[in-house]
Homo-oligomer: A and B are copies of this chain.
Amino acid sequence: MPKVVDKELMNQQIVFAALQAFVKHGFHNTSMSKIASEMGIAKGTLYLYFKSKDQLIEAITKQHFHNLKDRLVSQQNFNSVEALLSHIEGTLLISDEDSQFIPVFFEVFGPSFSSDKFINEYSNFFNEIAQFYTENLESLQTQGLIQQDLSPKYFGRVFVSMLDGIILHKGFFKINNTDYNLMVKEVIKLLRYGLN
């Protein structure tokens, strides 16, 4: 009897439109009305799918980090330094779409950085990535493929910080792709020489 609608699809469409608007104008300069009107729907409809603007950005963020982790952690292990370097290069060459989200993230969640709960969540995220690198470094080290004189545990963690720094700078400063690719090449060179 009732009118039926694909809620899941609508959900995704809202998330997509909102993200686009946030990237373009910033979170605080994007009103719910604006999102609605750009979608050609009424503001009230947004509130049928998301209780609040906060809940909307939360959903976007959750999705972003979910995708991110899949990209950062490879399922297979690496049996050579070059395989590892290749994965790292792939990790660094993030899409503009992804890097554009970075300023939005900091704009929205900057004020949360004093919350322990918030920090712990992201701390765990990066620790898991670090663990992935640590395990691969240990394996390569056992096989004698990289320097014995480095600590996989600490190198793994600091390495993640470094990668994050590079990605953050791309996002913050909108470094153009030509320059950025050359920068990535330098990192790979450094690692190739430094790990052996």
Contacts and interface: CB of A to CB of B under 8 A. Distances in A.
Integer count of this chain's copies in the complex: 2
B161 A166 contact: yes
A190 interface: yes
B173 A123 contact: yes
Interface residues of A, number: 58
A126 to B, nearest CB: 7
Interface string A152-169: 001101111111111011
A112 B109 CA distance: 12
B194 A154 contact: no
A107 B113 contact: yes
A190 B112 CA distance: 34
A107 B116 CA distance: 12
